[in-house]
Structures are given as structure tokens and as C-alpha cells.
Amino acid sequence: MDRSLRRKEILKRKRDLERVLFRGRRLKDGAVALYFAARTDGGRSVAFITAGRFRCNVARNRLKRRLREIYRNNKDSFPIGNDFILRGDSSASDVALPALRDRFLRLARRTGDER
């Protein structure tokens, strides 16, 4: 299992982010949400965003690092053929990492049912 996160796997272009956010599907579990949209080339890309107000930039950046870590260690749980956006709001920064991981993995399993 490849646990690295390569640059080519990260969604960066505004057009791609908007496609996933506004034309894709959303699954929500409390303070976290998983957006996904189908790809034509059979690959898989991801972006990490935060929503809401944060007390400080440190908390926001820590949450984004945790989201990257969850995806990187559980990449195979996210189906190939989709682009994903993992989003957490400010209350997600108070959730323990194992609980946060379980929420995202539960949402990732549901992506196959939502297609």
C-alpha cells in the first residue's frame, strides 16, 4: 500500500475544485463532510479544506494536516474514479484523530452507494 501523497494527486485548479464542490455529491457526518465527483480518466485526486471560523490559524492548519494524514493512510478506502474534497469545520478540530478517521472512512464507504 502506497502511503505517500504525491503532488499530482492533489486537486489545485479552481475549475476542478468547483466541479467537485458544486456539481458533485456531498456526504456529511457532523463536523465533517466528504464531497466527491466522478472522473473520466479513472484516477483519484483529493483536496483538503476547512470551513467556518477558527480561533487561530494554528487550529485550522492542524486540522488540514490531520485530514491529509487520514487520507494518506487510508487512500485505498476512497474509490478510484472519483475526485474528493475532505472538509472539516472548526468543531472538527476538537475531535480525536481516531474518531475523525472513522467518520471519514464511513463516508468513503458510502460513496459507492451514492453513485
Could you tell me if residue 1 is inside a domain?
A: no
Residue 23 is part of a domain; what is its CATH number? 3.30.230.10
- For the chain, what is the mean pLDDT? 91
Structural domain harbouring 61: 8-114
pLDDT in tens, 36-56: 999 888 889 999 999 878 888
Instruction: Give the CA angle between residues 17, 18, 24 to the nearest 5°.
Output: 95
Tally of domains within the chain: 1
Q: How far apart are CA 38 and CA 23, in angstroms?
A: 10
Joined together, the cell numbers standing for residue 80 give 478510484
Q: Is this structure's pTM higher than 0.85?
A: yes
